A and B are shown apart, each in its own frame.
Chain A
């Protein structure tokens, strides 16, 4: 899971990072959660913030993001959870650009998936392994 700078380091600090992990572990199961290093307030910015995504410096933005990419790949996790809009856009783009193979999901996607209420049109960012998991009863097809 990415610790969004805006939410963690710049706003509510380590307690909210702990809260996020509590939610994520409750949702995916503790045994399926792999933390990246460093983490909490020491985590690295993904490179999507501060307007970088819109600045036109795409090459530099992806070079910056290489730090985040390597951090994610070291965990060998299949999904990176990004509880921030900018982080989602950047971390998703890094996976596509570097053909890294991991998927990037909003936290709301996983919460609804675990509750069994994630509709079929709400699964764009899930990989094939989870695409049909916990489909709510009565969903088309």
Chain B
């Protein structure tokens, strides 16, 4: 005698998975899962809060949208793409996670990420720590001056800012200028020894983009556009992102 059929409460019409598939190339292959488990076996987030990539995708396939939309695991997957790399069907679980992050009410997303994103939107430096153009320039010039004065052989070291036409536009994680400015110096020395023609920009110098982690599409696009404009305004050929 057959067991009673388990009926999932599935809403009519398209599910969250279908909606997300619409905006992904090849639909993210979200319907092609063979349930082999390669994704989960190599995922360091497997087991956190009783979740893993395969289970996450199964829940999406079963239309368990509400459960997925409030599951904190979306914030524990780093979207590192190891799962899709080993998946025989190239299923885009990282993008599924990203778009489910975007389903969270903005104010309920993790405070640390939200705060960093909002801080970056404040000014054109895009710094998640809120560092202004003036502060960045001051720190760079201050550190440079000290190196030139105290380190023999480095009197000619440069850390150009807003140098028009430089080949490389170099950006920098906010943590260096703000909390450990001496860590910028080794990079300057390497650029100097390599004879690289480079510059920082007072606008768009911050490497990080927490708005992207937060899956706030308008915001991360804005951040990216500010940075691209900064590179283009200086006429640089290559944008070097240290992040």
List A residues at the B interface (Cβ < 8 Å).
Answer: 5-6, 9-10, 41-42, 44-45, 47-57, 60-61, 63-68, 84-86, 89, 106, 108-109, 111-112, 115, 117-119, 121-122, 124, 136-140
Contact = CB atoms under 8 A, between A and B. Distances in A.
A48 B208 CA distance: 13
A117 B113 CA distance: 37
Interface stretch (B13-21, B77-85, B130-138): B77-85
12 contacts: A10-B80, A42-B82, A54-B213, A55-B112, A64-B45, A65-B44, A111-B186, A112-B189, A122-B182, A122-B183, A124-B182, A138-B153
A136 B75 CA distance: 45
A68 to B, nearest CB: 7
B197 to A, nearest CB: 19
Contact of A68 (B44, B175, B185, B189): B44
Nearest to B128: A54
B88 interface: no
B161 interface: no
Contacts of A122: 182-183, 185-186
User: Which of B80, B185, B213, B214 has the largest number of chain A CB atoms within 10 A?
Assistant: B80
A42 B80 CA distance: 11
A50 B45 CA distance: 12
Contacts of B185: 119, 121-122
Interface in B54-85: 72, 75-82, 85
A109 B186 contact: yes
Nearest to B181: A121
Contacts of B47: 63
A5 B81 contact: yes
Interface stretch (B1-9, B27-35, B144-152, B221-229): B144-152
Nearest to A41: B85
B156 interface: no
Given A44-B44, A63-B48, A49 B110 contact: no
B106 to A, nearest CB: 14
B190 interface: yes
B190 A108 contact: yes
A50 B151 contact: no
A49 B214 contact: no
Given A5-B78, A54-B116, A108 B186 contact: yes
B243 interface: yes
User: Which of A10, A48, A51, A65 has the largest number of chain B CB atoms within 10 A?
Assistant: A51
A20 to B, nearest CB: 14
Given A54-B116, A86-B243, A140 B186 contact: no
Contacts of B182: 119, 121-122, 124
Given A10-B81, A45-B78, A55-B110, 12 more contacts: A44-B82, A50-B80, A51-B112, A56-B111, A57-B76, A65-B44, A85-B207, A106-B183, A117-B153, A118-B186, A124-B182, A139-B151
